[in-house]
Structure 1
Amino acid sequence: MIRMLLRVLGHQYAGPVRRTVALMTVTAVAEGASYALLVPVLRALFGDTPGDARPWLVAFGAAVAGYAVLRYAGDLSGFRVGTTLLRGMYHRLGDHLACLPLGWYAAGRVGEVSVLAGRGVLQAMSVIAHLLSPFISAAVTPLTVVAVMLVCDWRLGLAAAAAAPAVAAIHVWAGRSMAAADAERAERDREATARVIEYLQAQPVLRAGGRTIERFRLLDDSLRGLHRASRRSLLSALPGVVGLTLMVQAVFTALLVLGAHLALGGDIGAAELLAVLVLAARCADPLLSLAELGGKLRVVRTELARLDAVLRTEPLPEAPEPVRPVGHGLELESVTFRHGDRTVLDDVSLSVPQGQRLAVVGPSGAGKSTLLQLLARFYDVDAGAVRVGGVDVRSIGTEALMEQVAIVFQDVYLFDGTIEENVRLGRPDAGEAEVRAAAAAARLDEVVERLPGGWSANVGEGGALLSGGERQRVSIARALLKDAPIVLLDEVTSALDPVNEAAVHEGIERLVAGRTVVMVAHRLRTVQRADRIVFLDGGRIVEEGTHEELLRRGGRYADFWQVSLTSVAGGPDTAG
């Protein structure tokens, strides 16, 4: 398990961990060795001159004090290393999650990562601070005591040593019998956590549909499944606990019988017999604790395996010698992209000259948003190439690529902080005047003026305290502040009221001025202002040209346009 722990953490932590394990092992040996002094103490006390026990008692006290110092140092080292490991693990996990491709974050990942980053990391890293010392003590101290018993009397020592393989076998058997139950409990735990998160996030939809009772039943079923799995896990532990207890008691009884036989035959004295029995009794407690510690260590090992699996997930590869693009034109050459068994984009080729606007339209599921994500390298293509400034995005460093691109999506996520903090994410080192100018260009200043607290107003988790239009204005102000030469827009006005739509459109026009733009759009004014339009359907480009050219052809785009006109004439624009 230590090997897996170091693999999860990184080998820069190998030195502190190994030193801590060595110190804990020395402490356990010192504890067992100190009991060896009980033999001369008891021999003197049962002898003709009990006063001779005084120096041995002093030596025993000094040995116990030395053990106490070692134990304090070992526990302190464990806590310090554990704290360092916890901090390092959070940093490593966070950095790795930020590098994983967007496709990794599929449905169910939120609950899994929530459990892993919370309780999972704490449990995995607690092994050094809380579990390693008692486990080493429970394993090493009895072995040291057996060595002491061999010195006292080889027959009793051999009898005690013969029990070691049996205790180890029971421990291994118990671990294997519990493995399946522990795995099921962990899976049920993840499922229940995902259900809880889903239930909380879906409250508006569920209440609007009057479906809260059915959804609660699904959540309740997952919690009952977790309860049953936990009960099975506990029941599967009973045979190991009972077996280990019976073995330890049987060994102690055997030593007692053997010792009494040897004492009655005059082969050992009463002092030696009493010392051996005291040592045997001292071995019982740590051996019995092995069952409980083994269960906790199995939980830790499971969490370490899950962390290891996440950290072994390959991020998008970085070019060994990154190239910085000199232009801002965009190009897709024979791009094919698959998601699972589904081909989302199939042999797509298009180009966007620097400073021009491309509108991408088409039915839902045509691959429009995926096209934008490939341009930003949220995924790598399965075939073909995506180029920025004539350079394949796989040859551009991630940081350099992100400097070139500003993205405004339909679903805006804001961090739980102030409006100003969320705008500054676009460029954290921007001056106050630049932030205010970007806000004014996005008409965010209107929102700031009417909010209590102004720029210091908190937006809530995910921007929950702002309306959709207000969140979109923050997103546009953030993109304006970033001042990137390439802008990607994904249906940024599809769900806005007329007032917010007008404000957001005004901000978008300022954002895209003079920049290379690719926009997924359905709104009439957005599509008309594009230099070129592609109609995407089934992952392929079925039409391409200017607005007027496509209308004259009378194809799919013309049908889409007619539906859009009808929608506008009949009420709110719902096309697409």
Structure 2
Amino acid sequence: MTSVPNRPVGLAALLPYLRAHRGLLAVVGALSLLGAATSLAQPLLVRSVLDGVSAAAPVAGLVGLLVALVVAGALLGGLRDYLLQRTAEGLVLGTRRRLAGHLLRLPIAEYDQRRTGDLLSRVGSDTTLLRAVVTSGLFEVVTGAVLVVGAAGAMLLLDPVLFGLTLLGVAAGVGFALTVARRVRALSRAAQERVGEMTSAVERAISAARTIRAARAERRESETVGDSATAAYAAGLRVARVQAVVGPVSTVTVQSAFLLVLAVGGARVASGAITVGDLVAFVMFLFFLVLPLGQAVHAYTQLQTGLGALQRIEEILDVPVEGAADRIPPGPAARTRPDPPMIEFDRVGFGYPDGPPVLHEVSFAVPAGTRTALVGPSGAGKSTLLALVERFYEVTAGALRVDGVDVRDVPRDVLRARLGYVEQEAPVLAGTLRGNLLIGAPTATDAQLRAVLDEVNLGHLAERTADGLDVQVGEGGVLLSGGERQRLAIARALLAGPPVLLLDEPTSNLDARNEAALRRAIDAVAVRRTLLIVAHRLSTVVDADQIVVLDGGRVVATGTHDQLTTTSPLYRELATHQLLVT
């Protein structure tokens, strides 16, 4: 797993995410300012109305203007909230697309060491928390700041004495609340990590549901998931406890300031220092000061929660995607020989990250248009060699060449366009038969799809129901047999028409009849392709042009079947166990 600095993120990290929405955000900002202006004008109009009533002056126009301001403020607030929600949803959508695209391009080694559920949690729940950054965080802080500044200025002009008393109480409450809120980011990140662990536990249990049922392990797995859920619950409670402090502090601040203003303000009205209108206006401004402050403190905690989620998102986005560190050849790649082999391993060594070496100075060549089989005991490194050809991993020693060119000097997309790869597990994607076939050949016609299905003895799948090629295959191909899944994966590779086929145990899940049919299909395509096949069943490769025997990550013998039965003790042992020799 790539080591990524666990760097904290600030508001500046949000700017790239908000940049695409800057036009809409500018409109929201303008509406916020207009809404704040209508709110701040209301106390002044109330004072004028009260003073006019006291002086027996006409106030109908002022009352009408006050009502108009209230209605305008409500309409502006509603429009602003809608646009803000729209912006937030756009932010979440853009982040999910970016993160999903990045996840699909991570080096294979990252998938080997990271938990799928945690990655899913970052795309799902972490990106959802970013919504609060916009809707309940960033703009509430900005709008609240405008109201606070405006209200504070008006209060200072109305009565400096009352303002000074108010400021002392409010500053103490807000300072305490902000101190508490600073803890939210770390606690929120920890809570999201627990949610990721819980998602991983659920994903693990669901993906192995049949195994768990067969082993009668439902209770144990439920307890495992329950423990993860409990840990997430406890982490969520820690966040809730810190956030819960903000509410009471805000309430006490508001009530204390209100009572203080009423007491001192009433005395000042009685002494004639200020009028009743001044006091009422001051109290209204007090609410415009304190309530936005409370909302701003709450928004600050929401902002910290969103920034904690953003930190987890940025952690993944900071992982270099596959190919980011590719070396760039100095010029057009030249072939090493006039007629190089299609694939050549030249003293190749390899070890997985943080693991011991798997391959040791592996050397052999696969001539163009021939069929080469890799055989040997489990763990000999056969499947690893195919992964190196696909550049899922990079060789750590020696060189691997295709058409005489080091694969590290070939862009991965260009290289893989020449390769058809069928994995040992033969994964099938949820969806339809057609959708699975079109993954590598999106422009193939129905006639081509049916032809390749017939080629691997799967034509009956398109005839099972009236859906034809659009028949569902189930999650992970569960509606197909193991052999059908493997043949479908081979059909998918054949449909793309690559000049090189890499087949990892292509017949491991097939019965004798379908194995024979698939061998005939492989024989047909081998005429115009280069094949590199990993096989445990030697019966499928006895007619290969060459067989490479591996043991312990080393090549121990190379030759044809007849040659190896006499020259390689290991191959003869494998063939004897499979009744190919006596």
| Number of the residue aligned with 1:573 | none
1:103 equivalenced with 2:109 (yes/no)? yes
User: Of 114, 125, 135, which aligns to 1:119?
Assistant: 125
| Equivalent pair of 1:28/1:141 in contact (CA under 8 Å) | no
Deviations 1:481-509, CA, capped at 9 Å, x for gaps? 10001111111221333333333333333
Deviation at 1:212, TM superposition (A): 2.3
Does structure 1 conserve the Cα–Cα contact (< 8 Å) formed by 2:323 and 2:412?
A: no
Matched, 1:481 2:495: yes
Matches for 1:325-340 after TM superposition, within 5 Å: 329-340=342-353
In the superposition, relative to structure 1, how do residues 328 and 540 fare at CA in structure 2: closer, same or farther (>3 Å)? closer
Residue 464, structure 1, aligned to residue 478, structure 2: yes
Verify: 1:404 aligned to 2:418, yes or no. yes
Distance 1:50 1:5, change over 3 A: same
Task: Give the corresponding residue for 2:540.
Answer: 526
Q: Given residue 350 of structure 2, which amino acid in structure 1 is its aligned partner?
A: F
Query: Which residues in structure 2 correspond to 1:374-413 (within 5 Å)?
Result: 374-413=388-427
Give the letter aligned to residue 479 of structure 1: A
1:50-72 CA distance string (max 9 Å, x none): 42x33433443444454345434
**1:34·1:64 contact (CA, 8 Å) conserved in 2?**
no
The 5-angstrom pairing of residues 340-355 of structure 1 reads: 340-342=353-355, 343-355=357-369
8 Å Cα contact 1:160-1:251 kept in structure 2: yes
Structure 1 residues 400, 44: closer, same or farther in 2, change over 3 A? Answer: same
Q: Which amino acid aligns with 1:329?
A: M
Equivalences, count: 565
- Call closer, same or farther: CA 1:438–1:28 in 2, change over 3 Å: same
The worse-fitting range, judged by mean Cα deviation, of 308-317 and 114-123 is: 114-123
Question: Please, which of 2, 20, 25 is the counterpart of residue 13 of structure 1?
Answer: 20
Instruction: Provide the residue aligned with 1:287 in structure 2.
Output: 293
> Unaligned regions of 5+ residues in structure 2, if any?
1-9
Corresponding residue for 1:574?
none
Where 2:54 maps in the other structure, the secondary structure is coil
Alignment of 1:34-433 (within 5 A): 34-38=41-45, 40-51=47-58, 53-106=59-112, 109-125=115-131, 127-129=133-135, 131-162=137-168, 165-290=171-296, 292-317=298-323, 329-342=342-355, 343-433=357-447
1:433-470 CA distances to partner (integer Å, 9 max, x unpaired)?
Answer: 22222222122213333455332311122211111111
Farther off after superposition, 104-113 or 398-407: 104-113
Q: What do residues 169-193 of structure 1 show as CA deviations (whole Å, max 9, x unaligned)?
A: 3233222334444333222211111
* Displacement after TM superposition at 1:45 (Å): 4.0
Amino acid paired to 2:396:
D
SS of residue paired to 1:377: coil
Question: How far apart, CA to CA, are the structure 1 residues paired with 2:143 and 2:173?
Answer: 15
* Unmatched segments (≥5 aa) in structure 1: 570-576
Residues 164/243 of structure 1: CA separation in 2 closer, same or farther (3 Å cut): closer
1:316·1:380 contact (CA, 8 Å) conserved in 2?
A: no
Give the letter aligned to residue 495 of structure 1: N
Instruction: Tell me how far apart the structure 2 counterparts of residues 92 and 238 of structure 1 sit (CA, whole Å).
Output: 34
Measured at CA, do residues 493 and 38 of structure 1 come closer, stay the same or move farther in structure 2, by a change above 3 Å? same
2:437 maps to a residue whose letter is V
Cα distance between partner residues in 1 of 2:19 and 2:365: 46
CA shift in 2, pair 1:369/1:459, >3 Å:
same
Q: What SS is found at the alignment partner of 1:332?
A: strand
Contact 1:138 1:286 in 2 (8 A): yes
In 2: Cα distance, 1:366 partner to 1:159 partner: 80
Q: Do the aligned partners of residues 477 and 230 (structure 1) sit closer, same or farther apart at CA in structure 2, a change above 3 Å counting?
A: same
- Is the partner of 2:541 in helix, strand or coil? helix
Q: Which amino acid aligns with 2:515?
A: E
Give, in angstroms, the shift of residue 218 of structure 1: 1.8
Deviations 1:124-163 (A, max 9, x none): 2453356544443344323321122122223333444445
2:32–2:77 Cα contact (<8 Å) kept: no
Q: Give the aligned partner of residue 29 of structure 1.
A: 36
Check if 1:434 corresponds to 2:440.
Answer: no
- Distance in 2 (alpha carbons) for counterparts of 1:2 and 1:138: 17
Q: 1:50 to 1:210 in 2, by over 3 A?
A: same
Secondary structure of the structure 2 residue equivalent to 1:231:
helix
* Counterparts of 2:165 and 2:188, CA distance in 1: 35
Corresponding position of 1:572: none
Residues 325, 396 of structure 1: 8 Å contact kept:
no
Are 2:541 and 1:541 aligned?
no
Letter in 1 for 2:509: A
Contact 2:548 2:557 in 1 (8 A): yes
Q: 1:162 to 1:491 in 2, by over 3 A?
A: same
Change (3 A) 1:323 1:479: farther
Measured in 1, the distance between the counterparts of 2:505 and 2:455 equals 19
**Counterpart code for 1:280:** L
Following superposition, the deviation at residue 307 of structure 1 comes to: 1.4
Q: Contact 2:564–2:571 at 8 Å: present in 1 too?
A: yes
Instruction: Name the SS for the 2:22 alignment partner.
Output: helix
Provide the C-alpha distance between the structure 1 equivalents of 2:126 and 2:24, rounded to a whole number of angstroms.
20
Q: Percent identity?
A: 32
RMSD (CA atoms):
3.0
Distance 1:264 1:537 in 2: 100
1:3 aligns with 2:12: yes
TM value normalised by structure 2: 0.87
Question: C-alpha separation between the residues in 2 aligned to 1:284 and 1:328?
Answer: 78
8 A Cα contact 2:188 2:309, kept in partner: no
Give how far 1:12 is off: 5.2
Q: Write the letter of the residue equivalent to 1:333.
A: D
Q: State the alpha-carbon separation in 1 of the partners of residues 507 and 221 from structure 2.
A: 31
CA distance in 1, matches of 2:232, 2:394: 38
**How far has the Cα of 1:167 moved from its partner?**
4.4
Moved more, 23-32 or 272-281: 23-32
Moved more, 193-202 or 239-248: 239-248
Q: SS at the partner of 1:565?
A: coil
| CA spacing shift, 1:555–1:256, aligned 2, 3 Å | farther
Q: CA 1:150–1:529 in 2, change beyond 3 Å: closer, same or farther?
A: farther
Inter-CA distance 509–24: structure 2 relative to 1 (3 Å threshold): farther
| 1:61-120 CA distance string (max 9 Å, x none) | 444454345434433432333343333223322321221111111355321122222233
Larger RCO: 1 or 2 (CA < 8 Å, sep 6+): 2
Amino acid at match of 2:410: I
Distance 1:161 1:362 in 2: 81
